[in-house]
Structure 1
Amino acid sequence: MKSKSLSYSSLILIHIIIALIIFVVPFLSKIYALLIPIFGFLIVVRNQNKNNEVLFVAAYLVGVEVFLRMTGGNFNNEYVKFLVMFFMLLGMFFSNFSISSFVYIILLLLLIPGILVTTAVENLDLDIKKALVFNLSGPFCLAIASIYTFKKRLLFSQLQNLLIAIGLPIVSTVAYLFLYNPSVKDVVRGTASNFETSGGFGPNQVSTILGLGMFVFFTQLILFSKSKLTILLNGVLFIFITYRGIVTFSRGGIITGAVMILALLFLLYYFSNSKGKGAFVLVFALTALMAVGIWGYSSMQTRGLIEKRYANQDAKGRVKKDRLGGREAIIDTDLKLFFENPITGIGAGMGKQLREESTGHASAAHNEISRMLSEHGLSGVFGLFILLLTPFVLYFNNKQHLYFLSFFVFWFLTINHAAMRIAAPAFIYALSLLSIQVKIPENDEKSID
């Protein structure tokens, strides 16, 4: 156990050092962005994906995406999504995929009518290629990742290692945030999302990945901390990540992370025996105590402004008219466009332009559900049914997937406040389709290995 703890601690330390090096020499972020897929490809090919190496490479890419973006490492906005798709396809080449996953091939086919509607538009001001890539890279990434993960068998311990692969670069992200903005108190002046506390990058996306990081290190803390060192390390990481997520003043990611944790605690409590349920009373109490402490410290550092942010107030305590930062108007416009074009929709990627014509503001969709309805029409409705129902159908026969509900919640809440700007919701959704075993059946041990 000591060697494992030391290895885990070393990995954490290495990722803190990565943040420090890139903070000092920003150009190295691009080198980092190149090395990850190169080494990932070599590892997958060398092992012929016998241990689902593509999942671990993709998980690491998902965790590092926001860090690369905030440090200028990404070569374009869709860089990580395309890499995730590439590694999932590479995994299919080596390991095949379940025939039952055809439902996600249907999802891809349902996107075609919206693409055809867009390509038929004659508008010199519209960059069709850019509009399609921006709006469809997320759904394509989700579908391809889901085809690979559909009913793929993993041990629960392997699933946790996937979460660690996501969490390690999130440690780099948090370390970078402390280097970029060591004093939150000095930069917080109002209740709007804060770019200074978000490393100079979009607070919504930073909050989203930190919310996921909250869940990763909370699971490490309560389920996989077997020594005092790992308890202390995971506890500190959970506290720091949660604190830095809160002070981005972007609520969506933190609320999502909190709901993921509650969903996990609910399932753990529900499936525990009477003795286990008694032990969970202590877990609930300690979790609540940590939450109160983190919130209290955040309030002190922001001089009470964080409470006003979550109460939807401005710095003077006045309640704001819209609760979702302008997203209500975008959703209303999307629904109006859907009812006007219920069969074909307005075309993939056309929402931004038509919203500008309707409202005078060229706002990109933050809600993937309303976007699918307005841009894809009836095909979007069928696509949403597939996305919403399929994971639950699989879960009924796979109750050992203790993270299922948390993963589904992350995808659903994230696409409702941040659409699919980053690869995380697509990949985490795909992880909800895995067939997870907590223990290896004695008569099937060889097939697992």
Structure 2
Amino acid sequence: MKNIKFTYISLLLIHAAIALAIFVLPFLSKVYALLIPVIGFFIVTRTRNKNNEVLLVAGYLVGVEVFLRMTGGNFNNEYVKVMVIFFMLLGMLYSNFSSNSFIYVLFALLLIPGAIVAINVADLDTDIKKALVFNLLGPICLCFCSIYMFQRKITFLNLQNIVLAMGFPIVTTTVYLFLYNPSVRDVVTGTQSNFETSGGFGPNQVSTILGLGMFVFFSQLILFSKSKIKIIINGVLLIFVSYRAIVTFSRGGVIAGVIMIICLLVILYYFSSKKNKSKIGLIFILMGLLALGIWTYTSFQTRGMIEKRYANKDARGREKKDHLGGREAIIDADLKLFFDNPIMGIGAGMGKEMRKDSLGEEVAAHNEISRMLSEHGLFGIIGLLLLFLVPIVLYTNNQNHLYFLSFYIFWLLTINHAALRIAAPAFVYALALLSIKVQIPEKTSNNLK
């Protein structure tokens, strides 16, 4: 990022200002959505992707997706996934890709039988094109990201710049949430996922992207805060993003963010010298105290409702029958469909209408694993095994990738509660495939400061 003249602080302020501008003039969200790929295309073509600029652009798109959706900026629900795929293709055009990444081409081919089955079994009332796009574009986005990033060599410092590219628009999202709903106490009346505290958009997806933001600013805080002012700024950002994630009352993203942070600390502790192990231990304690403070404040603001939510109780303190917000029933329905159709599955995108028989209504899958089983059958099992095993095999020869476990866990947890509805889990999964060279100099004059 040698040609970036903005400082870290100025970029944070710009993204806070974007939130304010779009809150006041909502139509600017579509302008923002259009400018991102246009400017990104200009940057990539000008540099000829010399330093993997496509990853910065794609990372930024991933970070901004939920904000664009909640503010009406998306031209359609799959806009960001399509743009991410486009930039991955552009990157391959300039920088080629590893021949060993054919494994993800195989994964893409495994999706084809499910699509053929769907076309053959769909009735006249089903919009088969919409069903296929809705259910397959996430896995396809993951394929293109993985093909481009498979064993691509990159420094740890450049990886952090990609992580920050995701983080800047998450700042925009967080500021917008405070503007949209400044008083949490006024809108929290129960323990269900709260749309008011989520900017009027799906709490599950807002929680997911904010959980990722928690990791972004935690990593920036402990690894790249070389001055007191940066420690304060990143600490405050971590607190604000964590608070807004928790008050969505959607647990998945928060839990994923916390586990990502724990994974990073464990990896750092494992690879640290004896002298630094004590420092990591101190960070554990400080983060625990910080988490306690955030939780206590959130409990006060929600009148104790947040504690009931995480204890799986309703507003009156009664234990809820289901533990996953109704997702158990969907998973059970998917497993039944799989056992009835173990080889070919029921067809990509057909699960929504077929679940009607067991659930009484059409319900979209929230779990990508159960969806792959029911809709793709044996081909889904093989595809999932590839996704699970390939990153782990690569990591055995690339243990310098300090974020590997955090990225892998984020993908695994997210596809279990939010499937691949947004591009984040697909892109973050692919980041785990990068070949990382650890290089954290004391001075970062050529990077964001």
Give the alignment's TM-score, normalised by structure 1: 0.96
Write the deviation string for residues 228-283 of structure 1: whole angstroms up to 9, x where unpaired: 11000000000000000000000000000000001101100011111111111211
What is aligned with 1:199?
199
Aligned AA for 1:240?
Answer: F
What is aligned with 1:288?
288
Report the Cα distance in structure 2 between the residues aligned to 1:76 and 1:331, rounded to whole angstroms: 28
What is aligned with 2:105?
105
Matched, 1:215 2:215: yes
Kept after mapping to 2: 8 A contact 1:351/1:364: yes
Structure 1 regions of 5+ residues with no counterpart? 441-449
TM-aligned CA deviation for residue 100 of structure 1: 0.3
What is aligned with 2:182?
182
Kept after mapping to 1: 8 A contact 2:59/2:163: yes
Kept after mapping to 2: 8 A contact 1:205/1:422: yes
Write the deviation string for residues 64-121 of structure 1: whole angstroms up to 9, x where unpaired: 0000000000011100000000000110000000000000000000000000001112
Aligned AA for 2:78?
Answer: E
Report the Cα distance in structure 1 between the residues aligned to 2:295 and 2:60, rounded to whole angstroms: 29
What is aligned with 1:279?
279
What is aligned with 2:381?
381
Aligned AA for 2:333?
Answer: T
What is aligned with 1:397?
397
Aligned AA for 1:362?
Answer: E
- The 5 Å alignment of 1:78-117 reads 78-117=78-117
What is aligned with 2:342?
342
Q: Secondary structure at the match of 2:369?
A: helix
Report the Cα distance in structure 1 between the residues aligned to 2:8 and 2:91, rounded to whole angstroms: 26
Report the Cα distance in structure 2 between the residues aligned to 1:277 and 1:98, rounded to whole angstroms: 37
Kept after mapping to 2: 8 A contact 1:81/1:137: yes
Report the Cα distance in structure 2 between the residues aligned to 1:348 and 1:144, rounded to whole angstroms: 19
Aligned AA for 1:345?
Answer: G
Q: Size of the alignment, in residue pairs?
A: 438
TM-aligned CA deviation for residue 317 of structure 1: 0.2
What is aligned with 1:446?
none
TM-aligned CA deviation for residue 357 of structure 1: 2.7
What is aligned with 1:443?
none
What is aligned with 1:447?
none
TM-aligned CA deviation for residue 358 of structure 1: 2.7
TM-aligned CA deviation for residue 359 of structure 1: 1.9
Aligned AA for 1:352?
Answer: K
What is aligned with 2:439?
439
Q: Secondary structure at the match of 1:120?
A: helix
CA separation of 1:174 and 1:390: change in aligned 2, threshold 3 A: same
What is aligned with 1:23?
23
CA separation of 1:194 and 1:118: change in aligned 2, threshold 3 A: same
Write the deviation string for residues 277-303 of structure 1: whole angstroms up to 9, x where unpaired: 111121111110100000000000001
Q: Secondary structure at the match of 1:193?
A: coil
What is aligned with 2:134?
134
Kept after mapping to 2: 8 A contact 1:352/1:363: yes
TM-aligned CA deviation for residue 168 of structure 1: 0.1
Q: Secondary structure at the match of 1:419?
A: coil
Structure 2 regions of 5+ residues with no counterpart? 441-449
Report the Cα distance in structure 1 between the residues aligned to 2:6 and 2:237, rounded to whole angstroms: 16
CA separation of 1:157 and 1:122: change in aligned 2, threshold 3 A: closer
Report the Cα distance in structure 2 between the residues aligned to 1:121 and 1:105, rounded to whole angstroms: 26
What is aligned with 2:9?
9
What is aligned with 1:236?
236
Report the Cα distance in structure 1 between the residues aligned to 2:121 and 2:302, rounded to whole angstroms: 49
Kept after mapping to 2: 8 A contact 1:5/1:229: no
Report the Cα distance in structure 1 between the residues aligned to 2:238 and 2:323, rounded to whole angstroms: 28
Kept after mapping to 2: 8 A contact 1:257/1:410: yes
Matched, 1:168 2:168: yes
CA separation of 1:46 and 1:134: change in aligned 2, threshold 3 A: same
Report the Cα distance in structure 2 between the residues aligned to 1:299 and 1:141, rounded to whole angstroms: 38
CA separation of 1:346 and 1:72: change in aligned 2, threshold 3 A: same
Report the Cα distance in structure 2 between the residues aligned to 1:241 and 1:190, rounded to whole angstroms: 22
Aligned AA for 2:346?
Answer: I
- The 5 Å alignment of 1:257-336 reads 257-336=257-336
What is aligned with 2:150?
150
Matched, 1:50 2:59: no
What is aligned with 2:447?
none
TM-aligned CA deviation for residue 5 of structure 1: 12
What is aligned with 2:253?
253
Report the Cα distance in structure 2 between the residues aligned to 1:333 and 1:121, rounded to whole angstroms: 19
Aligned AA for 2:95?
Answer: S
Kept after mapping to 2: 8 A contact 1:131/1:348: yes
Give the alignment's TM-score, normalised by structure 2: 0.96
Q: Secondary structure at the match of 2:355?
A: helix
Report the Cα distance in structure 2 between the residues aligned to 1:204 and 1:253, rounded to whole angstroms: 7
Write the deviation string for residues 401-434 of structure 1: whole angstroms up to 9, x where unpaired: 0000000000000000000110000000000000
Aligned AA for 1:199?
Answer: G
Q: Secondary structure at the match of 1:436?
A: strand
Kept after mapping to 1: 8 A contact 2:52/2:91: yes
Aligned AA for 1:306?
Answer: I
TM-aligned CA deviation for residue 387 of structure 1: 0.2
Matched, 1:425 2:433: no
Kept after mapping to 2: 8 A contact 1:5/1:230: no
Aligned AA for 1:23?
Answer: F
Report the Cα distance in structure 1 between the residues aligned to 2:153 and 2:287, rounded to whole angstroms: 31
Q: Secondary structure at the match of 2:84?
A: helix
Point out 4+ residue stretches in structure 1 off by more than 6 angstroms: none
Identity of aligned residues (%): 70
CA separation of 1:165 and 1:117: change in aligned 2, threshold 3 A: same
TM-aligned CA deviation for residue 6 of structure 1: 7.6
Report the Cα distance in structure 2 between the residues aligned to 1:91 and 1:292, rounded to whole angstroms: 43
Write the deviation string for residues 110-164 of structure 1: whole angstroms up to 9, x where unpaired: 0000000011124011100000000001000001100000000010000000011
Aligned AA for 1:187?
Answer: V
Kept after mapping to 2: 8 A contact 1:344/1:377: yes
